Amino acid sequence: MKYSVKLIIKYTVEKGEVFFEESILMLEAESFDDAYLKAEQWVIDNDVCASYRNLYGKTVQKEIVSYADCFSVYDDDDVTEVYSSFQKPRPDLPEKTLVAAQTESCGKEGLLPLRRYPG
């Protein structure tokens, strides 16, 4: 059966700039537990948390903050749903703020500190 596992990866650029990436892996597994184990092994095998030097010569550290969720993939003839999640409203957070936090992402310029140094 196919599952997707959502990872939250934290990038810390030397001198304190911080970014978070949501990465969703789709994999074959026998159960939710097996899917998490395979995702964890994939992170190790692919050196996902390896630090690197960016275009500006600064070190970028990476760490897995969370294996945040696991989803059983729904597949039919025309459409494959690879991930879905639900959030409950929080009384201390206006709806616009919650939606913005989940949908805003960095543009091309904002991601320049994460670009690898060529070579």
Q: For 44-87, what is each residue's pLDDT tens digit?
A: 999 999 999 999 999 999 999 999 999 999 888 788 888 887 77
Domain chopping of the chain, boundaries: 2-114
**3-state secondary structure (DSSP) of residue 95:** helix
- For residue 19, name the pLDDT band (cuts at 50, 70, 90): very high
Of all residues in the chain, what percent carry a pLDDT higher than 90? 57
Q: How far is 103 from 7, CA to CA, in rounded Å?
A: 16
- For residue 97, name the pLDDT band (cuts at 50, 70, 90): confident
Instruction: Give the H/E segment covering residue 102.
Output: helix 95-103
Mean pLDDT of the chain: 89
- For residue 31, name the pLDDT band (cuts at 50, 70, 90): very high
